[in-house]
Every structure is written in structure tokens, then in C-alpha cells.
Amino acid sequence: MSIAETHELAVVGIADLTPLMRRITVTGDSLATFECVPGQDVVLHLTDDSGNGVRRRYTVRNLDNAGRRFDLDFVLHGHGPGANWAATVAVGSTLQVFGPRGKVAMSDARWQLFLGDESALPGVAEMAAAMPASSEGVAIIEVQDANERQPIPGPLDVRWVFRDGAPAGTTSLLDESLRDLSVPDIDRHAFVFGESRVVRRLRDTLRSRGLGAAELTAKGYWNLGRAMRD
């Protein structure tokens, strides 16, 4: 894995994957040697409405060293410097990022579970694509509605749950799906990413169902009603 460092990048592509998910493709000479493991992220240096510097984390997707580029997929949730930057940036704009970041490690467990919301989708897709061919598992992803579904490569049985108008981070849809899910007794690993309180709840449920610390990776990606802190 490469040492985390600062990269000066330029935006070379903007595409809407779904109504609420925008892909920004960035390029820079230093990406020729950039390395990261699936699910790792970079820290974007952005400015808020008052012009103050802020940092926000986004998952690296589709790293292409030969092309010196990767993609960043943004949830267009409508508030905050990260979502606003993605909603308004133009091809040719520049961006400074620091990375790779993140302690996420792939699992070699035969059965793997992924639980998360839209913010987790980029990481889940990257990790699912890299799962060992001998493994299997389930991804349960909460999104706004059916238009927000995206292809998730790899061996997972992907199940979508829809908020249908409820704000992100406020439902118990993932909890309910987990309640009905049968989890193998051994050779298993669960990954949980998304809104922090939802993640804590799901992590506690998985613990109560017997998953040990080594079988569980849980990380809050954002906080309902509160901006991310640097």
C-alpha cells in the first residue's frame, strides 16, 4: 500500500449514476503509483460556505494507475461542503486529496455480510468485487427508492430496502432486514457502514447474535443532523 500523501488532482469526468449519486472522475500524475485496498478512502480538502477549509472522506473507486485516475461517488444529499462540491463542480476544476486513508481490511471468511446506506455503496461495491471466488454472502443496502439501485459486482446476494420518502439515517429498515436474516455460525464476517447511530445499533445486534470482534467491522460514515468534524 502506498504511503498516505497529498495529491493534486483535476476533475476529468462528471456523471450521474442515479438521481442521488454523482460520480466525479479525477486524475493526477501521482496516481500512477497510488495504491489502496478495496474500501479505502481519501480525504478531500474543501471549503465551507464561509470559505473555511474542511475535510471530507470519500471512497476510492475504480483505481486505474495506468490511466492515472480514480472515481469518487458522492451522495447528493443537499447539505454540506462535500455534497455541495459534487453538485456544482465542473470538469477542469482542481482538487487536493490526502490518502489513502482507512483501516478497512478485506475478509477471507466464506460468508460475508454488508449492511449500509448510500454512503456505503461505493465501499461495498469495491469490496464485493474483490471478494474471493470461494466466498458468498449478502448485501442489504438502504437507499431512497428503486431508482437508487446500482450494480454490485461479485458473489453477493444483493437486497435493497427503500426509505420511500423518509430521511436517510432515520429508519429501522436495516434492523428489520437483519432480524429476518439467517447468519452462519462460523466462517463469517459482517461489515456495517453508514449513519453512525444506525451503525452502532446494527453492530450491537450482530454482537448479541454472537459475532465476535474479529468477525465484525463497523464504521460510522456520517452523523444525522451534524456535519462531519475534521
Ligand X SMILES: Cc1cc2nc3c(=O)[nH]c(=O)nc-3n(C[C@H](O)[C@H](O)[C@H](O)COP(=O)(O)OP(=O)(O)OC[C@H]3O[C@@H](n4cnc5c(N)ncnc54)[C@H](O)[C@@H]3O)c2cc1C
> Per-residue string for binding with ligand X, 35-64, x by CB under 6 A?
------x--------------xxxx-----
Percentage helix, strand, coil for the chain under 3-state DSSP, each rounded to 5: 20, 40, 40
For residue 223, state whether it binds ligand X (rule: CB under 6 A).
yes
Q: Are 112 and 189 in contact (CB under 8 A)?
A: yes
Side-chain-side CA neighbours of residue 175 (13 Å): 14
User: In this complex, which beta carbon is closest to ligand X, that of residue 51 or of residue 225?
Assistant: 225
Across the beta sheet with 188-195, the strand order is 156-162, 136-143, 111-116, 188-195, 216-222
Residue 99 β-bridge partners: 5
| Region near ligand X per CB under 6 A, out of 70-78, 87-95, 147-155, 208-216 | 70-78
Report the nearest approach of ligand X to the CB of residue 1 (Å): 15
User: In this complex, which beta carbon is closest to ligand X, that of residue 79 or of residue 180?
Assistant: 79
Report the nearest approach of ligand X to the CB of residue 108 (Å): 21
User: In this complex, which beta carbon is closest to ligand X, that of residue 170 or of residue 210?
Assistant: 170
User: In this complex, which beta carbon is closest to ligand X, that of residue 208 or of residue 229?
Assistant: 229
User: In this complex, which beta carbon is closest to ligand X, that of residue 48 or of residue 176?
Assistant: 48
| Region near ligand X per CB under 6 A, out of 115-123, 134-142, 154-162, 182-190 | 115-123
At residue 197, what are phi and psi to the nearest 5 degrees? -70, -35
How far apart CA 218 and CA 116 sit, in angstroms, is: 10
For residue 24, state whether it binds ligand X (rule: CB under 6 A).
no
How far apart CA 39 and CA 61 sit, in angstroms, is: 8
Residue 26 β-bridge partners: 11, 70
**Where do contacts with ligand X occur on this chain (CB under 6 A)?**
41, 56-59, 73-75, 77, 79-83, 102, 118-119, 122, 168, 221-228
